[in-house]
Amino acid sequence: MKATQRDFASTARRAVDQCGIFFFCGPDEAGASAAAQSVTELLADAGERIEISGGDLKKDPALLGDEARSGSLFGGKRHIYVRANGDEAHEALKTLIETSDAGAGEAAPVLVVATAATDKSRTAKLLEKRKDALVAMFWPPDLGSVAGSVRQMADAAGLRLSGDLAERIARAAGLDVRLAQSEIIKLATYCDASPQSPVALTAEDLEAVGAATEEDSFMPLVNTVLKGETGKLDGELKRMREHGMNPVGVLLAVERRSAQLAQITSQLGPRGSLDGLDRGAKARLGIFWKEEREIQEQLRSWHRRKLDRLGPKLMQLHKDLLGNSQSAELLLAQGLTEIARFAARR
């Protein structure tokens, strides 16, 4: 079974009823992660969440089947969440399928978010024709689609908002639906809104507690890091601390841009240039005119082999931040410094 972000919402509920393996891929890691969360929420009894890295599965393909068929620590249901890079989970999923077909017993649902993989990857080809698996491909969203998602989230939370406010929230979240969702939750709490008692959101409400404006957003820091501007980095990290930026939010913005660079690099090939793309092609790659110069400079710092090394680094840093929330700001600063120095190498 296959889906894209365009038809995922209509496919997800049916897929949850008949699938045990979910493979979310594509250059929009934020959208893939949000889709995995949606499936988790649709499961009749998601139970305990067991997280496994793609690197661990690559080293030990049998680990996935062992975990998927083990009982929860508390005797209830469980589901397996895998954050992988490319085809790291391929052999583990193949082993899980083979043992299931051989009668090894019922397995817990397995959700894989695969950064740098596509629906043409080996893992996707392994799963796409199976009735018990879903392959969903996610491209970087445009402003209109994220604004539409923001309005759907707001409706579900009991917030009524105009199209202009939805676009402001989408922009401030860097077109990341996970960050937009957290803003909607925050705004609904501030406005004391609920589905039973809807409240109209005003521009004043958004100014009071909403996401940072574009000028105060994460992107100056993201651009500094990915261009390897080590001389500017201390100032940007200081700004991050002064503005109280969410470390995970900052890292998600870095992950999103790195995924975009990987997609652009793949599209252009070894000798291509952004100058050779027309406006439509740039739009499909998520390149807005205000960001084009920054992206051009970042592409000079990140060829394919360097991007291949960046993906696992970001995954490990993400895991470290989630596991050490009290030290997240320090860990992020250290990680971004390493990445900036690596970007500066030619």
Give the N- to C-terminal CA distance of the chain in Å, as an integer: 43
The residue with greater pLDDT, 261 or 284, is: 261
- Helix, strand or coil, per DSSP, at residue 52: strand
Tokens found for residue 197: 């008692």
> Measuring CA to CA, which residue among 215, 216, 17 is closest to residue 131?
17
- Choose which CATH entry (3.30.1330.60, 3.40.50.300, 3.40.50.2300, 3.60.20.10) describes domain 2-137: 3.40.50.300
Structure tokens at 267: 């599209």
Numbered ranges of CATH 1.20.272.10 in the chain: 218-344
Q: Is the pLDDT of residue 76 over 80?
A: no
pTM: 0.55
CA distances from 116 to 113, 120, 182, 186 (A): 10, 11, 25, 31
Q: Identify the CATH number of the domain defined by range 143-213.
A: 1.10.8
- Alpha-carbon 244 to chain mean position: 22
The letter for the amino acid at 112 is: V
- The model's pLDDT over 95-134, given as tens digits with 9 standing for 90+, comes to 999 999 998 888 999 999 998 899 999 999 999 999 999 9
Residues of the chain with CATH 1.10.8: 143-213
Give the CATH class of 218-344: mainly alpha
**Pair of tokens at residue 193:** 């809104």
- Give the residue with greater pLDDT, 123 vs 74: 123
Q: What is the pLDDT of residue 146?
A: 84
- 24 DSSP β-pair partners: 113, 136
Q: Which has more pLDDT, 257 or 171?
A: 257
Q: For residue 286, what pLDDT is reported?
A: 77
CATH 3.40.50.300 positions along the chain are 2-137
Q: Residue 162's CB: how many other CB atoms inside 10 A?
A: 13
Please, what's the b/e burial string for 58-93 (b: 16 or more CB within 10 A of its CB; e: otherwise)? beebebbbebbeeeeeeeeebbbbbbbbbbbbbbbb
pLDDT tens across 159-188, in order?
999 988 998 888 777 677 777 888 898 899
User: What burial class does residue 198 get, using C-beta atoms within 10 Å of its C-beta: 0-12 exposed, 13-18 middle, 19+ buried?
Assistant: middle
Assign 135 to helix, strand or coil.
Answer: strand
pLDDT-derived band at 210, boundaries 50, 70, 90: low
How much is the CA Rg of the chain, to the nearest whole Å? 20
Residue 175's region, left for phi above 0, alpha for psi from -120 to 50, else beta, is: left
d(C-alpha 155, C-alpha 120), whole Å = 35
CA dist 314 and 308 (Å) reads: 11
